[in-house]
Structure 1
Amino acid sequence: MAGSRQWPIVIVGAGAFGLSTALHLIQDGYTNITVFDRGDEVPSPYSAANDLNKIMRPEYEDPFYTNLAIEAMAAWKTPLFAPYFHRTGFLHCVSGKAEQRAKDTLQRFRKAAESHPILSKFVVPLSSRSDIQEQAWQLDGDLPGWHGYFNRFDGYTHSADALRGIYRVLQGCGVRFFLGESVGTVNSIVYEQSPNGKRTKGVTTKDGKIHAAELVIIATGAKAASLVPEVGTTVEAKSWSVAHIQLTDEETSALRGIPIIYARDLGFYFEPDPKTNLLKLCPMGGGYINTNKETGISLPPEPMNASVGFLPKEDEAKLRELLRHTLPALADRPFVKKSLCWFADTVGSHFIIDYVPNSSKSVIILSGDSGHGFKMFPIVGSWVLALLGPQKAQSNEQWKWKSSKVKAGSGWGDVVSWRVGTTTEYKDIRRFKAESKL
């Protein structure tokens, strides 16, 4: 881009990675930015971050991600992002019936926290029911065999509100938005030949228009392969279940300030949302993929409502058990707002932040959030600025573009240690939809 801050930049996707990129570009002096999203509003219903909340915990088995998350945590505490961060703590355990893989993973996370110079003072070991209740007095279940640790450094972010807030900021800074099925759906990247090979000259939208750009940034999460087919099976659309319980005002108030309750073999839930009185829960598992037999690529099912309104039986059983262990009074409550949340998964859960090969460094792909990307929302855009620097190259080996050598539909996410369970094809769970109601 020859360093020009006036040349047009197109960002496809108004989720966490797309909005963060727009924010950092604006703050760095870029003035001609347009964002496209097929959703009618921000937060877009197609974004994995269109959600009540996400876990903000820095402890990782990989010290690189631990330090990166600590950097993001500092950004969450700045005035722009602070309204959306809640430091309630993270109660991280396994139940007495947990398989060894879950126990081992818990111990690695605990070791990462206890050995870190910043995190160690916030960590409290938990070896009994009374230990746990000292950190979360509301838990009046038996907590059979539960043990682990509590990290006071951690908390959660209100993801939908954060997207909405940054969207308003960007509007005020002059970023243009094209939202909606017709004007916001990008059908293709347009290329032209240059002396150095092909390079982009913009994108086409569903309404037939061509929007000129010197740089196109693809931040479409689980649908990355639909616009950048070269990514192949390197990025796999994967989903986990999400469910909620509708509480009363009194019940919400009673659970105010409760930490994130996380049983690595069962699932987790958050402090209830005071605006809606919704208690969000997620089961643990290997996740679901939607592999196309012809292409071998997993993309989210269409239409969008295909993923809404049902909860696989196995997942419901885990959440019921989680509640019986911790909040038995809620264990038989109906689940509402059930859905599958689709995200972009990669081998090793590493992000992809790099130029698309053979695009003359005119197309960037941001993908591979792998279920842990939203905590990085405030700093993602800084990684894009680094790509636009003098070297114009990704220096982090983990985030570089990788050739698509993964066997299609293999459920390779099973090898990631922190996912306990087996990956299942979406077609094998759809039959349960008719048996459940909103």
Structure 2
Amino acid sequence: MATSTKPKVIVVGAGIFGLSTAYYLAEDGYEITIFDQHPYDRGDGYKLNPGSTAASVDENKIFRASYGDELYYQRLAYEAREVWKQWNEELGPGKELFVESAMLRVQHSSHLDELEKKTLANMTAEGLRDTQYILSSDDDVQRATGRGWAHKMLKFAIPKTDGQETFEAVLDTTAGYVYPSQACAYLAGKLRKKGARFIEGSAKGEFASLRVEGSGELRRVTGIRTKDGEEHSADLVIMACGSATPMLVPEVRRVLEATAGSVVTVRLPPREEAPELWDKYAHDNWPVIIGHDPDPTGKTVGSRSIYSFPRTEDGLVKIGYRVTKYTNYVKLPGSDRPISVPLQPEVDDTSLPIKSVEGIKTFVSTFLPDLAPLPITATRLCFYTDTVDNSWLIDYLPGYNDTLFICTGGSGHGAKFTPILGKHVRDVIQKKPKTELTHHWRWRPELPLGNGLEEGPDGPRTLDKQKRASPEDLRRAGWFAGSHL
């Protein structure tokens, strides 16, 4: 890296990973230029729009610190939580980026599963057990009543039982949700105040290739070329491109995979027509609800789930399905094998698989039956970047003399760490001693393929093997028109 007091850094990707990293580097005096193909610097900015492929651009994402026995992620989440609260104070009432609605972790049966037991054990070890309330515990219910949380300890009958058997659940009062699109815009504003440059939009902000000089042991990256033919120099290039990273950096294709979660948004009737629904699903009265499918691998991070949020200020309720993480394999020029890439909204067919619709239908009928007759406002295949073990990939890519850095692999659980992710990324860039956390983020091609990456294009999750939903299918599922299918 250059010896200048302000090393020149290019960050490719203006999502959560890129912005958080750029922010903390800018704090240390690095000269930062951020590139992105989406014109976030004008118009609606980071507001969710049908043309965006970035997982960071979203209405809301879950904030949770429940990570089974992976204590390092639990601690990181609570570190982030404190900064989210600071940001809320900076922005003031009505502009909060973090909503402490609590989250109800619904079990798969009437008993706590092993993942939940591990989570509670770690919460207890960290002195946080009093923030967790088990539905079947009389002591916890009494404590929740005294502290004003009892109204969110919801009971739901287990389908196909006599109605007396209910799902076990744990209410986590430290959890809730964040607004990632607004958080990205907030961080971008902070970066501009620190002098960071943004080059965004089609062609001028779109990565075309790396500038590489030398060969063998002398090979190094000296910048990037953009689609408009311009060359941009830097001492360090950070690729923070989310699900597009395997498309742009061939070396990571073995350890990263673009996978799609399915999202449905339902609109409540106008407030004056259904005030009871607006009150019921307000974040003061309703928690985030997450239901996990048992994971046969026993992994904690990125576990298979269906989840829902309280309503937004304009009456939207989002339901997400990540039980099946779909892949979209294509053969790219110069690639020796197909890789999974994100679909392009308004260009490709981004209709949801029937399997997702049916899974969401079951979830809604069980936990949100009021919403079953309501129209779907939008659907989305949200592409994440999964790693072989669901821990992120944050490290120098070997073979480039510490001039090319990879910062991606969120695996569906990165957004909650927006305020402090870059602080830890900066430690890796500056080669500070590895912690348990950063050890898990290292470049690790030696790991056996897992987390579905071993399936490849012949696996059962590829979108070309799925029956896709039509508007008629949604009507049969209990919903009607208004979707993007």
Alignment of 1:18-167 (within 5 A): 18-30=18-30, 32-41=31-40, 42-43=45-46, 45-61=52-68, 62-79=70-87, 83-96=96-109, 103-113=113-123, 115-127=124-136, 135-136=150-151, 142=157, 145-167=166-188
Query: Quick check: 1:233–1:408 contact (8 Å CA) kept in 2?
Result: no
The alpha-carbon deviation at position 23 of structure 1 amounts to 0.9
Q: Does 1:207 align with 2:220?
A: no
Partner secondary structure for residue 424 of structure 1: coil
Q: Does 1:317 align with 2:353?
A: no
After superposing the two structures, state which structure 1 stretch, 347-356 or 39-48, moved more: 39-48
Alignment of 1:221-300 (within 5 A): 221-247=242-268, 248-249=270-271, 250=275, 251-256=277-282, 257=284, 258-265=286-293, 267-274=306-313, 276-292=314-330, 295-300=336-341
Change (3 A) 1:26 1:252: farther
Q: Give the whole-Å Cα distance in 2 for the aligned partners of 1:337 and 1:222.
A: 21
RMSD, aligned α-carbons: 3.2
After superposing the two structures, state which structure 1 stretch, 144-153 or 326-335, moved more: 326-335
Q: Give the whole-Å Cα distance in 2 for the aligned partners of 1:372 and 1:384.
A: 16
Change (3 A) 1:140 1:60: closer
Q: Give the whole-Å Cα distance in 2 for the aligned partners of 1:68 and 1:409.
A: 22
The alpha-carbon deviation at position 3 of structure 1 amounts to 5.2
Partner secondary structure for residue 207 of structure 1: coil
Normalised to the residue count of structure 1, the TM-score between the two structures is 0.87
Letter in 1 for 2:60: N
1:199-234 CA-partner distances (Å, limit 9, x unpaired): 111100000110111110000011111221111220
The alpha-carbon deviation at position 298 of structure 1 amounts to 3.3
The alpha-carbon deviation at position 119 of structure 1 amounts to 2.2
Query: Quick check: 1:187–1:206 contact (8 Å CA) kept in 2?
Result: yes
The alpha-carbon deviation at position 239 of structure 1 amounts to 1.2
The alpha-carbon deviation at position 91 of structure 1 amounts to 0.5
Q: Give the whole-Å Cα distance in 2 for the aligned partners of 1:403 and 1:326.
A: 41
Q: Give the whole-Å Cα distance in 2 for the aligned partners of 1:197 and 1:391.
A: 24
Calculate percent identity across the aligned residue pairs: 28
Q: Structure 2 regions of 5+ residues with no counterpart? A: 160-165, 294-304, 475-482
Number of the residue aligned with 1:359: 400
Letter in 2 for 1:334: P
Change (3 A) 1:390 1:346: closer
Of 427, 443, 452, 1:401 maps to: 443
The alpha-carbon deviation at position 166 of structure 1 amounts to 1.4
Query: Quick check: 2:354–2:468 contact (8 Å CA) kept in 1?
Result: no
Letter in 1 for 2:104: L
Query: Quick check: 1:347–1:413 contact (8 Å CA) kept in 2?
Result: no
Letter in 2 for 1:329: D
Letter in 2 for 1:13: G
Of 423, 432, 436, 2:469 maps to: 432
1:1-24 CA-partner distances (Å, limit 9, x unpaired): 255342321100000000101111
Query: Quick check: 1:231–1:404 contact (8 Å CA) kept in 2?
Result: no
After superposing the two structures, state which structure 1 stretch, 177-186 or 259-268, moved more: 259-268
1:117-157 CA-partner distances (Å, limit 9, x unpaired): 24211011013999699644596864652112111111111
Q: Give the whole-Å Cα distance in 2 for the aligned partners of 1:412 and 1:154.
A: 33
Partner secondary structure for residue 163 of structure 1: helix
Letter in 1 for 2:390: S
Q: Give the whole-Å Cα distance in 2 for the aligned partners of 1:401 and 1:347.
A: 11
Partner secondary structure for residue 340 of structure 2: coil
Change (3 A) 1:412 1:313: same
Normalised to the residue count of structure 2, the TM-score between the two structures is 0.79
Partner secondary structure for residue 378 of structure 1: helix
Letter in 1 for 2:54: S
Letter in 1 for 2:34: V
Change (3 A) 1:394 1:337: same
Change (3 A) 1:280 1:356: same
Partner secondary structure for residue 233 of structure 1: coil
The alpha-carbon deviation at position 398 of structure 1 amounts to 1.2
Query: Quick check: 2:243–2:342 contact (8 Å CA) kept in 1?
Result: no
Query: Quick check: 1:308–1:340 contact (8 Å CA) kept in 2?
Result: no
Partner secondary structure for residue 33 of structure 2: strand
Q: Give the whole-Å Cα distance in 2 for the aligned partners of 1:3 and 1:120.
A: 49
